[in-house]
Structure 1
Amino acid sequence: MTRPLRTDAKIVVGAFLASGTVHLVKPEVFKPLMPSWVPAHREVIIGSGVAELLCAAGLAMPATRKVAGVASAALLLGVFPGNIKMAVDAMQGSNRPLQAASLVRLPLQLPMIRGAWRAGRA
């Protein structure tokens, strides 16, 4: 019997669906998050959006959940440097809501990674 998708994994699916769509529709939103050492910014942004959508679909389907859980956790770890850059850059500006959001986002990555990992192990 296949277990239903856990709530934490459902949150990952929802976040990946939303973020992946924005990556494809408005990739310029993510350009400021890109560390300078990453080549081909636009292509990486589009590729990570596709990866997010594939991971979301994989988590939603029991047959691919194990692989998608590991892939999702790896993807979240892979984009973490962009989240750090966003927070560092925000702290240098005066936009308080952006500063707060970018700082809150950092520790929220941990339960997202855990949720993806757990989905792959269930």
Structure 2
Amino acid sequence: MTFSPGKRGRGRSTTPRALFMSGLLGFAGTMHFIRPQPFDSIVPPSLGNRRAWTYASGVAEIGCAALLAVPATRRLGGAATAALMVAVYPANIYTVVKHWKSPMGRAIALARLPLQIPLVQMSWAIARNGD
């Protein structure tokens, strides 16, 4: 089965971006297991067991990292990573709401919101080009 969200060969090589994203996701995913508390704190309570969500998202990040690292699965990894970035965005919104009464906390949380956009764009470019 092949994944084909776009035409191959458009634009510049995504290999450096894929390896950067792979390293970033691999590190972040590993941190979900080494220091889960900060990740637990951004899971909305309405989702239930915060630690389970932290571990599940850590597994997803490590899985995406592995897909991005291997050229044969890079396009699928790009699409999976873009989907993951969109899926975890509500946690960033929850963090803004959670820290709304703290000017510094609110500023930091608000500043994080647009940072997800280039990660989604980079992931989708990898999915489209895969090289």
- What interval of TM-score do these two structures reach, taking the shorter chain for normalisation? 0.7 to 0.9
Question: Does 2:97 correspond to 1:75?
Answer: no
Task: Report what 2:95 is aligned to.
Answer: 86
What TM-score do you get using the length of structure 1 for normalisation?
0.85
Tell me, in whole angstroms, the C-alpha distance in 2 between the residues paired with 1:12 and 1:84: 22
Cα distance change, pair 100–23 in 1 and its aligned pair in 2 (3 A): same
SS at match of 1:92: coil
Alignment of 1:39-118 (within 5 A): 39-94=48-103, 96=104, 98-118=105-125
The Cα shift of 1:12 comes to 2.6
1:25 aligned partner, one-letter code: I
Distance of aligned partners of 1:14 and 1:104 in 2 relative to their CA distance in 1, 3 Å threshold: farther
Query: For residues 34-61 of structure 1, what are the alpha-carbon distances to aligned partners after superposition, in whole Å with 9 as ceiling and x for unaligned?
Result: 1122132211110100110110121111
1:25 aligns with 2:26: no
- The root-mean-square deviation of aligned C-alpha atoms, in Å, is 1.9
Q: Does 1:5 pair with 2:12?
A: no
Gaps of 5+ in 2: 1-8
Q: Secondary structure at the match of 2:41?
A: helix
Specify every segment of 5 or more residues in structure 1 that has no aligned partner in the other structure, as ranges: none
Q: Deviations over 1:14-70 (max 9, x none)?
A: 331221111111111112211122132211110100110110121111111111111
Aligned residues: 118
Q: Aligned in 2, Cα 1:119/1:4: closer, same or farther, shift over 3 Å?
A: closer
CA contact (8 A) 1:17 1:52 kept: yes
In 2, are the aligned partners of 1:6 and 1:119 still within 8 Å (CA)? no
